[in-house]
C-alpha cells in the first residue's frame, strides 16, 4: 500500500479510531478495492503499534470491508450495492421496530431527546461542521432505539454504528451545497413519530433510509458500490 497521509491518532480507543479512519478511506474510494492493507505501514503512518491496527483490520473484515488472504494479508473488499442495501434494510427494520415500541409506550415527554438531537443537527449544519452533524444524526437514531426500551434492539443497533458513521460521512459528500434535505427528512420522521400513527412513522423511517441508500450508492458503479438501492423495499411497508 503506498503512503497516503493518515493523521496521528490521539483518541483513547486506538483500534476503534484506526478502524474509523480506514472505513472512511475505503468507502470514500481513497483505498480502492484490491488495495493491500499492510499492518506495519498503517501503524507507522498512524504512529501507533501494530496491535490496534490488527484489531482494526479484524473489525473491517467482520463488516465485509476487508478480506484476508492466507499468507498474504488483508485487502480492501468490494462493498456491493446489495451489501449497502442490506445494511440499510437492517437499519430500517431495527428502527421501524423501535418506532412501534416507542409509539406503543406513548410517553410523549421522551421525545425531548429526539428534539435535542434534531436541534443539534440544525446547529451543526448552520456552522458547516459536518463531522458534528454526523454525530448528531447518529445520536437521534440511537435515541430512537434507546427509547424503545428494548435493550437487545439497542445493542443490535450499536453494533452497526462504526460502519454507519462512515457511510453517513460518505452520504453527506453527495450534498455539497446544503444539508437541508437530511434535516427535513429527520424532521418528518420525528413529526410522524410524535403523531402516534405507526403506519406513517414506519413509512417515514423506510423512506429516509431509501433516500440515504440512494445518495450513498449514487455514482459509485466503478467502485462496486452502485445503483439506486432499496428496490422493492417499500413493498414491505404496512398497508402495501
Tens digits of residue pLDDT in 194-233: 999 999 999 999 999 888 888 777 645 444 443 333 333 3
- 36 strand-pairing partners: 75
In a shared domain, residues 120 and 177: yes
In a shared domain, residues 113 and 197: yes
Find the largest Cα–Cα distance for the chain.
57
Domain assignment present for residue 204? The answer is: yes
Domain assignment present for residue 8? The answer is: no
- Cell numbers for 135: 454525530
The domain boundary residue, chosen from 53, 76, 99: 76
- Going 66 to 51 to 17 to 146, the CA torsion angle's sign is positive
Domain assignment present for residue 3? The answer is: no
**Between 102 and 80, where is the model more confident?**
102
In a shared domain, residues 134 and 193: yes
Nearest-5° Cα angle at 112, 126 to 110: 150
Nearest-5° Cα angle at 28, 124 to 63: 100
In a shared domain, residues 181 and 145: yes
221 lies in which domain range?
83-236
In a shared domain, residues 130 and 210: yes
The domain boundary residue, chosen from 76, 91, 124: 76
In a shared domain, residues 53 and 131: no
**Between 234 and 85, where is the model more confident?**
85
Number of domains within the chain:
2
Average pLDDT score over residue span 122-147: 93
pLDDT for position 107: 72
Q: Is the pLDDT of residue 92 over 60?
A: yes
DSSP string, the chain: ------PPP-SS-HHHHHHHHHHHHHHTTSS-TT-EE-HHHHHHHHTS-HHHHHHHHHHHHHHTSEEEETTTEEEEPP--HHHHHHHHHHHHHHHHHHHHHHHHH--GGGGHHHHHHHHHHHHHHHHT-HHHHHHHHHHHHHHHHHHTT-HHHHHHHHTTHHHHHHHHHHHHTT-SS-SHHHHHHHHHHHHHHHHT-HHHHHHHHHHHHHHHHHHHHTT-GGGT--S---TTGGGGSTT-
In a shared domain, residues 202 and 127: yes
Domain assignment present for residue 6? The answer is: no
In a shared domain, residues 132 and 154: yes
pLDDT for position 2: 56
In a shared domain, residues 133 and 220: yes
In a shared domain, residues 52 and 111: no
Instruction: Name 143's Cβ contacts closer than 8 Å, sequence gap at least 6.
Output: 113, 114, 117
The domain boundary residue, chosen from 76, 92, 121: 76
pLDDT for position 152: 96
**pLDDT tens across 145-199, in order?**
999 999 999 999 988 887 888 788 777 776 667 889 899 999 999 999 999 999 9
Domain assignment present for residue 1? The answer is: no
pLDDT for position 172: 78
pLDDT for position 116: 95
pLDDT for position 58: 93
Question: Among 110, 86, 87, 109, which residue's Cα sits nearest to residue 98?
Answer: 110
Domain assignment present for residue 47? The answer is: yes
Q: What is the CATH number of the domain that holds 89?
A: 1.20.120.530
Q: Is the pLDDT of residue 237 over 90?
A: no
Domain assignment present for residue 9? The answer is: no
In a shared domain, residues 31 and 145: no
In a shared domain, residues 122 and 189: yes
The region, left, alpha or beta by phi > 0 then psi within -120 to 50, assigned to residue 26 is: alpha
Average pLDDT of the chain is 82
Domain assignment present for residue 7? The answer is: no
Q: What is the CATH number of the domain that holds 59?
A: 1.10.10.10
Amino acid at each position: 500500500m503506498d503512503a497516503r497521509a493518515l493523521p496521528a491518532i490521539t483518541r483513547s480507543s486506538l483500534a476503534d479510531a484506526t478502524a474509523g479512519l480506514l472505513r472512511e478511506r475505503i468507502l470514500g474510494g481513497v483505498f480502492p478495492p484490491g488495495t493491500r492493507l499492510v499492518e506495519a505501514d498503517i501503524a507507522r503512518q498512524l504512529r501507533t503499534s501494530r496491535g490496534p491496527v490488527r484489531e482494526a483490520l479484524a473489525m473491517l473484515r467482520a463488516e465485509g470491508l476487508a478480506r484476508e488472504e492466507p499468507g498474504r494479508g488483508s485487502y480492501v473488499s468490494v462493498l456491493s450495492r446489495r451489501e449497502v442495501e442490506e445494511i440499510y434494510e437492517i437499519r430500517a427494520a431495527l428502527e421501524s421496530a423501535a418506532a412501534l415500541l416507542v409509539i406503543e409506550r406513548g410517553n410523549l415527554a421522551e421525545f425531548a431527546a429526539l428534539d435535542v438531537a434534531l436541534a443539534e443537527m440544525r446547529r451543526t449544519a448552520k456552522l458547516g461542521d459536518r463531522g458534528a452533524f454526523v454525530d448528531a444524526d447518529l445520536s437521534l437514531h440511537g435515541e430512537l432505539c434507546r427509547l424503545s426500551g428494548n435493550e437487545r434492539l439497542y445493542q443490535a443497533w450499536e453494533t452497526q454504528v462504526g460502519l454507519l458513521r462512515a457511510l453517513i460521512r460518505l452520504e453527506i459528500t453527495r450534498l455539497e451545497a446544503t444539508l437541508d434535505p437530511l434535516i427535513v427528512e429527520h424532521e418528518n420522521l420525528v413529526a410522524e413519530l410524535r403523531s402516534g400513527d405507526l403506519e406513517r412513522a414506519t413509512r417515514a423511517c423506510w423512506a429516509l433510509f431509501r433516500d440515504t441508500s440512494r445518495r450513498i450508492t449514487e455514482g459509485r458503479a466503478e467502485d462496486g458500490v452502485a445503483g439506486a438501492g432499496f428496490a422493492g423495499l417499500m413493498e414491505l411497508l404496512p398497508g402495501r
